[in-house]
Structure 1
Amino acid sequence: MGISLAYFMVLLDTTVLAVAEPSIMTSLHTGVVGVGWATTIYTMALASTLVLGGSLADRLGAYPVFILGVIGFGAASVACALSPTLAFLLVFRALLGLFAAAIIPSSLGLITGLYPDPGPRGRAISAWAAISGAAVAAGPLVGGWLIAVDDWRAVFVINAPIALAVLALCRTRMTSTRHMRAISWLPHLGLAATLTAATLAITQAGQRSWSQALLFGLVALGLAYSTAVIDRTSPAPLVPAALRRNRLVWTAFGWGAAVNYALTTVIFSLPLLLHVTPAAAGATLLPMTLLITLNPLVTGRLVAAYGPLRPIRMGFVAFPIGLTLIAAATARHDQPLVLGLGLLLCGLGVSWTLPALVGFAVDHAAPEVAGSVGGILNATRQTGATIAAAVAAGVLTQNHSSGGTAAVPFLIAAAVCVLGIISATALNPSRAKGSPTGPAEQGPART
């Protein structure tokens, strides 16, 4: 329960902030790009350090890394609430991302250690996703209520008592395996710098500052190449050797990025487009968020009966249809039924794909790299979220100044999900190489 509550806290912080965007813009005198950075700097810090968090969980043990992350997350949340300017908020949001990067992979590592058999582990992961997914549903509603009582600062204060509850529930030390391997800091710094430059390039492109976008894009490419070169000669590369050529696991990482791209596009964009109170914005998102909370338990049964690929494919079919309906509703306005149906389909898209692809990745990786799998999977997911927020902020800012349609971010996300269904349909795990043989490959139920 404590493990899931910690992940609940991390996700709650993201979804609560979505409905707080208009309040932050008013209080800190910033625009869409400013609140875009409040989102992207968190996901950027999270994405760039999740691999490091997974490596630390493997080396030091998942339990101490988990506890440190929870303590730091609670403290950084209070600092965010006390931020007097946007600059201070961005600094403390980055710290939140760093501590979240310690929580997420270590929590998955703890679950893997507690449930070594694939069957019980799959059910535990589904329950973890369902309990944690409650944050997605609760976030907009709780955020709307908190903002009505006080202002946007209250949405950060709520994390402090949750962190204390997690520490109380997890006060008994849990056994976690340590794998003594070195950690090389330079590749991790290179990854963070690459993601920062790429986000700046996307933001500038969205504002049609093409020369600066080109400059940051070239810097990002240079940093990416340098990081890859350094990582190849590193005694402790970002990606363990056991995962380097594992095509199935890397496919799951790509699916995770696509899911978070689509989800972040909806959560970030809609509160800015609806022009309603935070509480009303939270209520509008309920068709999607409630399904994200409740449906993972059904997904767990689907995975047990048919294997993970079927719900993954179902989700990537539902997602682009839902995003297209949301695009139509936002473009023409006053279409609540179309918007609600689109949100329902997006909720199915997340709740079918995400638990299944997490189980798919864990099943096709060696147990000794479970922490790294959790770190890399969530890093790619947060990279997708970072890019989505940067693209949506840039596009919405440009559309507002030029009178363009608000549907563009959702249509871009739909195209990303189409790529997901193409790859999931073409995948045949029984013919793929580079994954360990195990229960996930022994019968038709896992294909």
Structure 2
Amino acid sequence: MATSIVAPPVLLDRRPQRIVALLVICLAELLVVLDNTIVNVALPSIGVQLQTGVSGLQWVVDAYTLTFAGLLLAAGNLGDRYGRRRIMIVGLIGIAVMSVGGALADSMTQVIAARAAMGVFAAAVFPATLALIINIFTDRRERAFAIAAWTAMAGFAIAIGPISGGWLLEHFSWHSVFWINVPVALVALVATLLWVPESRATQAGKLDLVGIGLSIAGITLVVWAIIEAPHNGWLSLTTLCTLLLGMALLAGFVTWELRTAAPILDMRLFRNRRFSLPALAIAIGYFSMFGFLFLITQYFQGVREYTPLEFGIASLPFAFSVAIGAPVATLLAQRVGTTAVLVTGLLLIGLGLYLGGQVTVDSTYVLGVLPAMVFMALGLGIVQGPATESIMSSLPLNEAGAGSAVNDTTREVGGTLGVAILGSIVASYYTSRIADRVDAIPLGIMNDNEKSLVKASPLSVLELRKRELAPFFETQRENLIVAMKTATLQGAHTASMVGAGAVIVCAVIVAIFLPWKPQQGESVLLGWRKTDDDHD
């Protein structure tokens, strides 16, 4: 393949200017990622006030995920074409406006619609953040530092979501998890206008509307099938047909992108193992992390019966471990190579999952859960930074937005799979062991709606504990609660082993196929695309 020269733009000459721009970009990233997690803590309050069931609450989360994942690739390409800063500004304004809509909503339909719209605008912000960093920091060491900061912020935001939401709910209503976005978005908007420079691709062909349409439709259908699979059944006709249709559209997208003159994503990039294998590592890392966070939520609130604020405080070591692991690993990869660091990080994730699977009802926080969280978070931080740096360094500057979107999409799809698959395992164990016991409870003690809630989630332990019962029934209630906790942890053990197995397989693949020798220089710094000879 022939090389093409593209002169990288010099956007900010002075280091302090670049650092300020990085801080602003990380603030925008914090808004997007935090909003993806903070609402989880408010779900019980939303459900009580708006009188909705488990399905409605799940769509409060899933509506955001669906639009966010489906539009990432298209938004990244539009940023390359029309300006990453411009697209990010549109996204920040949209998040602020839609957050007001969510805060003022008085029905579940309105909340879900606001969340879906927020996902659309978040998709405009997220790819732009990383693409701007790549274009602002052209020195390899500075770029490694900037990507490490970006990666640490993403992991940190995911982990502090519970404590932020818990604090807000201690002092305000559930509407506060929407209102909090407005001032943050406005500050990020003003700071972006003042301190973040514009960047766009120097060459742009005809807008690939077919590619954009196929990517949105294909990714959306696949993600929807994954989200709904635990409810419809993994082997149900609805799930299989939707999944097959989505995969067919994605296959059509790949075929079209290989033939069109101006693709939104150059599919030949995946021939480069320094691009494709780190993307796989990120997908598996997020598969494990989102699945792990789902299990931890069940454990802290369903087994240990923590309040939302206590849950948030208990999960802080996860945030700090990610924040420590990401920058250290990114800089270390510059010395020893990406492969060694990725394999180490994946193995640590596997160890964390294994330890998490050994937790029992009687396990203590310090000796049981804390080591699992720390190893899991350290491993995730170690994987994220070097993998992202390898992906983005494999790209020319003109495709920074599209490459960032690939990096982000792998995270979202991997995370969605993690919650769907590992969560489905836990739900299957829990329901199969609890359903008969709950059905045997007389209607005078527990009505059908209450039984459905108990059979659906171990988080109902908190509500079950608050229920006033005659002293005669106290023993029966305690026995049911112990059975609910035991069933949850039995499912968590199996789910943890599945997650650990996936991570180990990924580590072996990376160790075998990703070159161990550190890269000497980055193609993007010189402004030219790698040739086929560089794809080893």
Amino acid at match of 1:16: I
RMSD of the alignment, in Å? 2.9
Q: 1:61 to 1:415 in 2, by over 3 A?
A: same
**What is the 5 A alignment of 1:141-152?**
141-152=163-174
Residue identity opposite 2:230 in structure 1: G
Q: How many percent identity over aligned positions?
A: 26
- Name the CA distance, whole Å, in 2 between partners of 1:278 and 1:164: 27
1:382 Cα deviation after fit: 0.8
Deviations 1:168-216 (A, max 9, x none): 2222251413332333233333333333433444455424633433333
Residues 38-58 of structure 1: CA distance to partner in whole angstroms, max 9, x if unpaired?
333322222221111211111
1:429 paired to 2:493: no
Structure 2 SS opposite 1:237: coil
Contact persistence 2:317–2:374 (CA under 8 A): yes
Out of 106, 115, 118, the position equivalent to 1:84 is 106
Q: Match for residue 495 of structure 2?
A: 409
Q: Which of 166, 180, 189 is residue 158 of structure 1 equivalent to? A: 180
- Whether 2:3 is the aligned partner of 1:3: answer no
Work out whether 1:262 is the aligned partner of 2:256: no
Secondary structure at the counterpart of residue 84 of structure 1: coil
Displacement, 1:279?
0.8
Confirm or deny: 8 A CA contact 2:330 2:389 kept in the other structure.
Answer: no
Matching residue of 2:506 = 420
Distance 1:438 1:87, change over 3 A: closer
How many angstroms does 1:36 deviate by? 3.4
Which deviates the most, 208-217 or 414-423? 208-217
**Maintained 8 Å contact 2:225/2:242:** yes
Aligned residue identity for 1:101: A
The answer to whether the 8 Å contact 1:36/1:393 transfers is no
Aligned to 1:116, the other structure's residue is in SS state coil
| Alignment-mate amino acid for residue 361 of structure 1 | I
TM-score (norm 2): 0.75
- Cα distance 1:122–1:106, how it changes in 2: closer, same or farther (>3 A)? same
Deviation per residue, 1:395-441 (Å, 9 max, x gap): 444333212533143333222212321122113437999x9757899
**What's the offset of the Cα at 1:230?**
4.4
CA contact (8 A) 1:366 1:436 kept: no
Alignment partner for residue 313 of structure 2, among 275, 278, 283?
283
Q: Report the counterpart of residue 444 of structure 2 in structure 1.
A: none
CA distance in 2, matches of 1:155, 1:106: 24
Query: Are 1:248 and 2:274 counterparts?
Result: yes
Structure 2 match to 1:444: none
Tell me: CA distance 1:129–1:20, structure 2 relative to 1, closer, same or farther (3 Å).
same
SS of residue matched to 2:186: helix
C-alpha deviation, 1:166, in angstroms: 0.8
The equivalences for 1:358-377 within 5 A come to 358-377=388-407
Counterparts of 1:237 and 1:176, CA distance in 2: 19
Structure 1 stretch displaced more, 66-75 or 398-407: 398-407
Q: Distance in 1 between matches of 2:160 and 2:324?
A: 12
Label 1:137 to 1:110 Cα distance change in 2 as closer, same or farther (>3 A): same
Code of the aligned partner of 1:292: V
Closer/same/farther in 2, CA of residues 268 and 82 from structure 1, 3 Å limit: farther
Aligned residue in 2 for 1:306 = 336
1:352 CA displacement:
0.6
Q: Distance in 1 between matches of 2:224 and 2:137?
A: 41
Distance 1:313 1:244, change over 3 A: closer
Does residue 188 of structure 1 match 2:212? Answer: yes
CA distance in 1, matches of 2:50, 2:420: 19
AA in 2 matched with 1:426: I
Instruction: Identify which of structures 1 and 2 has the higher relative contact order when contacts are C-alpha pairs closer than 8 Å and 6+ apart.
Output: 1
Q: Deviations over 1:329-375 (max 9, x none)?
A: 2x545442211110111110111110111111112222221111111
> In structure 1, what is the equivalent of residue 81 of structure 2?
59
5+ unaligned residues in a row in structure 1: which ranges? 442-446
Q: Distance in 1 between matches of 2:522 and 2:133?
A: 20
Q: Under a length normalisation based on structure 1, what TM-score does the superposition of the two structures give?
A: 0.89
Name the residue aligned to 1:50. Answer: 72
**Residue 342 of structure 1 corresponds to which residue in structure 2?**
372
Q: Say if 2:334 and 2:518, in contact at 8 Å, map to a contact too.
A: no
Asked if structure 2 preserves the Cα contact closer than 8 Å seen for 1:12 and 1:139, the reply is yes
After superposition, where does 1:197-236 map in structure 2 within 5 Å? 197-207=221-231, 209=233, 210-236=236-262
1:81 aligned partner, one-letter code: A
Question: Does the 8 A contact of 1:32 with 1:397 survive in 2?
Answer: no
| Distance in 2 of aligned mates of 1:130 and 1:205 | 31
SS in 2 for 1:406: helix
- Could you tell which deviates more after superposition, 150-159 or 421-430? 421-430
Q: Structure 1 residues 130, 62: closer, same or farther in 2, change over 3 A?
A: same
Q: In structure 2, do the counterparts of structure 1 residues 387 and 103 end up closer, same or farther at CA, with 3 Å as the change threshold?
A: same
Q: Is the CA contact (8 Å cut-off) linking 1:78 and 1:160 kept in structure 2?
A: yes
The one-letter code sitting in structure 2 at the alignment partner of 1:174 is: P
Q: CA deviation at 1:390?
A: 2.7
State the Cα distance separating 1:32 from its structure 2 match: 4.6
Q: Matches of residues 57-136 of structure 1 in structure 2 within 5 Å?
A: 57-136=79-158
What amino acid sits opposite 2:41 in the alignment?
V
After TM superposition, give the deviation of residue 122 of structure 1 in Å: 1.0
Equivalent pair of 1:5/1:132 in contact (CA under 8 Å): no
Q: Is the alpha carbon distance of 1:376 and 1:438 closer, same or farther for their aligned partners in structure 2, counting shifts above 3 Å? A: closer
Aligned CA distance change for structure 1 residues 311 and 20 (closer, same or farther; 3 Å) = farther
Once residues 240 and 378 of structure 1 are traced to their aligned partners in structure 2, the CA distance between those partners, rounded to angstroms, is 16
Give the match for residue 324 of structure 1: 354
CA offset digits 1:105-163 (Å, max 9, x no partner): 21112212211121211111112333444323432211100011123321121111111
Distance, in Å, in 1 between the alignment partners of 2:267 and 2:205 is 12
Kindly name which structure, 1 or 2, has the bigger radius of gyration based on alpha carbons.
2
Number of matched pairs: 440
Name the CA shift for 1:24/1:255 in 2 (closer, same or farther; >3 Å): farther
2:322 counterpart (286, 292, 299): 292
Deviation at 1:392, TM superposition (A): 4.2
Specify the alignment match of 2:413 in structure 1. Answer: 383
Kept in 2: contact 1:44–1:97 (CA 8 A): yes
CA contact (8 A) 2:70 2:215 kept: yes
Local SS of the residue matching 1:355: helix
Partner secondary structure for residue 171 of structure 1: helix
Distance 1:241 1:401 in 2: 43
* Deviation at residue 302 of structure 1 after TM alignment: 1.4
